[in-house]
Amino acid sequence: MLDKKNFYINGQWVKPNSKEEIKVINPATEENCAVISLGNKSDVDLAVTAAKKAFETWAFSSKKERLELIEKLYVNYKKRWSDIAEAITIEMGAPKDFASKLQAGTGASHIKSFIRYLKNFEFEKPLGEHAPDQRLLYEPKGVCTLITPWNWPMNQVCLKVIPALASGCTMILKPSELAPLSSIILAEIIDEVKFPKGVFNLVNGDGEVTGNALTSHPDVNMISFTGSTRAGALISQNAAKDFKRVSLELGGKGANIIFKDADPEAIERGALRCFRNSGQSCNAPTRMLVEKSIYAEAIQRLEKYTKNFEVGDPNKEGDHIGPVISETQYNKIQTLIKKGIDEGAKLVAGGPGKPEGLTKGYFVKPTVFADVNNQMDVARTEIFGPVLSVIPFETEEEAIKIANDTPYGLTNYIQTQILRK
């Protein structure tokens, strides 16, 4: 079992003040794979103090200096690519090919994109032709708290850390305590690159203690959070006390509207997008709205596709999906699948329990419900598992009404070959 109890604060790995620890569980084996510390208020104070001190100079660093360091980070990231992918497979069960190509791959892609963007970005610009003697200055916000989820660890971490570095902000990263190992590797890379002390800090922990201390700290200027709607609401309350800037990416229950003229692969592609990453994506199209004239055919195709969809060992190569993140998440998904059956949705494929042959690990059967109405729990709740709800519609207006009838607002999708201006 890996010992990852230290935090990265002020340019060095330090022992935490907190004595609280938590085991990181490999969801494919249900076994402990690492132990981390859960930071307390004292640990957070040290990290924020380091970030605040570093901001005094990092805020005035040149674009050239930041660019050179981020380019070195990109080079070193590529050297540790396989280590990051392996860590993601261990910590959250992503199959090895998916972990390498998409999980670790999106992190690399984001770093590359931000480098390109930074090269072309001007931090000082003319205000406009109406004011030729006035300038527009883009200044770093200050000390940032960055809180990331477990489902796309490197994707989300790089989307927050790299632009913060590029803009001249300093930061404290708190990755999910369920999947912290890949973020620890990124901290090692940042240490190797020799960013100035205190610019980047990492404190592991939970939401209740560590997250609360980070989001309510008076010396934090901005919070960027990706996670649950409930946690986002609590963070907003903390931030409102001293008007911190807040960026939130929360839950979703995306509708995928499939019209009769959609391309031939739209049905299967929609199911794949729902099941991919074991359904653990906030932008997954988990409600498939199908035009009635092709509804029966769509259900037949979904049944065939889903029954042949492979679930298996994440250490095996291939395009299969792995387990969900935890026992808690597994139980939540099972409860909602059973609720769908109880509410009268037609079970087309999958259902309760684990896939055949997988007795250990938090594996879930890819599941399709037909004849769902939008008031059922399976249509309204973010399940965060490989569960697809299929809803028929007759008119475009009805489809739009169903799609918009949700408490979430993250993403929706349309499949058609006719676009009206």
- Residues 77-123 have pLDDT tens digits of 999 999 999 999 999 999 999 999 999 999 999 999 999 999 999 99
**Cβ–Cβ under 8 Å, residues 15 and 38:** no
Other C-beta atoms lying within 10 Å of the C-beta of residue 417:
9
Output the pLDDT for position 1. Answer: 85
Whole-number average pLDDT of the chain:
97
Q: Does position 50 have pLDDT exceeding 60, yes or no?
A: yes
User: Residues 189-194: what's their mean pLDDT?
Assistant: 98
> What angle, rounded to 10 degrees, do the helices at 153-167 and 63-79 form?
160
Domains of the chain: 2-249 (3.40.605.10), 255-415 (3.40.309.10)
> Which residues, 6+ apart, have CB-to-CB distance to 6 below 8 Å?
13, 14, 15, 16, 37
- Residue 158 a catalytic site member: no
Angle formed at CA 157 by CA 151 and CA 161, multiple of 5 degrees: 165
CA distances from 317 to 78, 322, 359 (A): 21, 11, 20
Output the pLDDT for position 420. Answer: 64
> How much of the chain, in percent, has pLDDT values that exceed 70?
100
Distance CA 245, CA 409 (A): 20
**Cβ–Cβ under 8 Å, residues 169 and 141:** yes
* pLDDT tens digits, 53-77: 999 999 999 999 999 999 999 999 9
The lowest-confidence range among 37-51, 304-318, 406-420 is 406-420
- Residue 268 a catalytic site member: no
User: Residues 1-9: what's their mean pLDDT?
Assistant: 96
> Tell me, what DSSP letter sits at residue 208?
I
- The catalytically annotated residue of 86, 91, 177, 249 is 249
Output the pLDDT for position 394. Answer: 97
The H-assigned helical ranges of 59-135 are 63-79, 81-92, 96-98, 105-120
> Tell me, what DSSP letter sits at residue 355?
P
Structure tokens at 370: 């037909």
128 confidence band (pLDDT: 50, 70, 90) = confident
Other C-beta atoms lying within 10 Å of the C-beta of residue 81:
16
**Cβ–Cβ under 8 Å, residues 385 and 279:** yes
Q: Chain centroid to CA 324: how far?
A: 14
* pLDDT tens digits, 251-292: 999 999 999 999 999 999 999 999 999 999 999 999 999 999
Segment (H or E) for 136: strand 135-137
* pLDDT tens digits, 340-397: 999 999 999 999 999 999 999 999 999 999 999 999 999 999 999 999 999 999 999 9
User: Residues 310-319: what's their mean pLDDT?
Assistant: 97
Distance CA 242, CA 247 (A): 15
CA distances from 17 to 4, 26, 183, 277 (A): 14, 26, 20, 35
Candidates 154, 151, 83, 85; CA nearest to 326 is: 151
Q: Does position 421 have pLDDT exceeding 70, yes or no?
A: no
Q: Does position 418 have pLDDT exceeding 70, yes or no?
A: yes
> How much of the chain, in percent, has pLDDT values that exceed 90?
96
In Å, the largest CA–CA distance within the chain is 72
